Amino acid sequence: MIQFENVRKVYGKTVVLNDLSFEIEDGQFVCLIGKSGCGKTTTLKTINQLIKPDAGRILIDGEDISTKNKAEFRRHIGYVIQQIGLFPNMTVAQNISVVPKLLKYNKAECERIVKEMLDLVKMNEFADKYPSELSGGQQQRVGVLRALAASPPIVLMDEPFGALDPMTRESLQNEVKDLQQKLKKTIIFVTHDMNEAIKLADVIIFMDQGNIIQMASPAEFLANPANDLIREFMGEHVEGYMVPTKVEDYMRTSLAFAHKGDGVRECAELMARNSVDSLLVVDDKNRFAGTVTIRDIMHWGKELTSIEPIIRQTARTVLLGSDARESFEYLLETNENYVVVLNDDRSIAGIITKTSVATSVAENLWGGE
């Protein structure tokens, strides 16, 4: 657990952190958000002692971090920034193993860690490449893996995807959330993008002028913003606006489909072309039959010719015309990425995603033009 107790930081006459007190539970994904200068990055940097508070205490698992040796302490906290900061003269494998080597791990252990990290994001073939040979998204993936390499319980991320194009950014958001859930890390993530915060966070902390204005779940932020400042941040409020409540007002309809009898390789290629890690599957009458994931294809693909044995029937489905709020709550309170919307004949009408929920609710509740 991370605990802030009356933490204060002042630069000249400007109060940057105003007696902050809050707690972050182990394994939570917490997003710090607010306008530029609100104190979110300063808050982040006090956790790994890059900035020293003028007053108050920060405790990790009950121990005051100010009593720790800074260099040793930081080796046990992952840190990812927008500028990435890979060493240009080191290969991907060497960059990932920097902290394990500082912690005196032996060569075999470092090699095992590098392989495990690259396995997580399917980048094994890049182990011997240099940063200059990678795309921006690939470099940022390596930056994230380097932060995770020594298995730190806490990882700090300061707008890590801010400089990336939208498609790469969304892909990395999905990967980081997936990694956090697999590895059970506590992540504190600074962003100025409410859509990103709603998609990633278990808890969002909205800051202004060094104060915490609201600390709540994404669902609570969407349903009950604490004040006009937060409403304005999410979009200007339109008085008397009637919010659409049906799933068809929010769903995406441009989708990639697979058919029940399609081959494994064909589906893998379709996923690659559409930059997705799962596909909706329909039967010979175009009725929804389930989903197939790249994870299952990788695990069983060599033993199968058709995807039929690995079709999952676990996806949440709703009928066209259903109330959207139930789907919103389901997506925001679970780890699922989408809800499938069906017509009466069980053909697929579309899907609702976390990203579309965030965008649509912000526009329709608080923005209009």
Domains of the chain: 2-234 (3.40.50.300), 247-366 (3.10.580.10)
From edge to edge, which strands make up the β-sheet containing 288-293?
A: 257-259, 278-282, 288-293
Angle between helices 136-148 and 107-120 (to 10 degrees): 130
Q: Max CA-CA distance within the chain?
A: 70
pLDDT band at 4 (very low <50, low <70, confident <90, very high): very high
67 vs 74: CA distance, rounded Å? 13
Looking at the DSSP bridge assignments, the partners of residue 63 are 60
Which residues are within 8 A (CB) of 229 and not within 5 positions of it... i.e. 6 or more apart? 208, 213
Gyration radius from the chain CA atoms? 22
Residue 251 vs residues 23, 205, 257, 273, 324: alpha-carbon distances, Å: 36, 28, 16, 22, 9
Q: What pLDDT sits at residue 363? A: 53
Question: Going along 185-256, which residue ranges are E strands?
Answer: 186-191, 203-208, 211-216
Residue 169 vs residues 144, 148, 161, 285: alpha-carbon distances, Å: 13, 19, 6, 36
pLDDT, tens digit (0-9, with 9 covering 90-100), for 57-67: 999 999 999 99
pLDDT band at 364 (very low <50, low <70, confident <90, very high): low
Which amino acid, one-letter code, is at 48?
N
Torsion of CA 270, 274, 277, 278, to 10 degrees: -60
pLDDT, tens digit (0-9, with 9 covering 90-100), for 233-257: 776 322 333 344 688 888 888 888 8
pLDDT, tens digit (0-9, with 9 covering 90-100), for 68-87: 988 888 878 888 877 667 88
153 vs 76: CA distance, rounded Å? 7
Classify residue 280 by burial, with Cβ atoms within 10 Å: 0-12, 13-18, 19+.
Answer: buried
pLDDT, tens digit (0-9, with 9 covering 90-100), for 299-352: 877 778 888 888 988 889 999 888 887 888 788 777 788 899 999 999 999 998
From edge to edge, which strands make up the β-sheet containing 63-64?
A: 14-24, 2-11, 55-60, 63-64
pLDDT, tens digit (0-9, with 9 covering 90-100), for 173-226: 888 888 888 888 899 999 988 888 888 899 999 999 999 999 998 888 877 888
Residue 310 vs residues 128, 289, 307: alpha-carbon distances, Å: 34, 11, 6
Per-residue pLDDT at 96 exceeds 60: yes
pLDDT band at 172 (very low <50, low <70, confident <90, very high): confident
**Over residues 80-95, mean pLDDT:** 83
34 vs 205: CA distance, rounded Å? 8
Q: Which two three-digit tokens encode residue 189?
A: 């993530």
Q: Which two three-digit tokens encode residue 281?
A: 């599957």
Average pLDDT for the chain: 84
Q: Which two three-digit tokens encode residue 49?
A: 């002692």
Which amino acid, one-letter code, is at 144?
V
* Percentage, residues of the chain above pLDDT 90: 29
- Residue whose entry in the numeric block shows the structure tokens 């044995």: 309
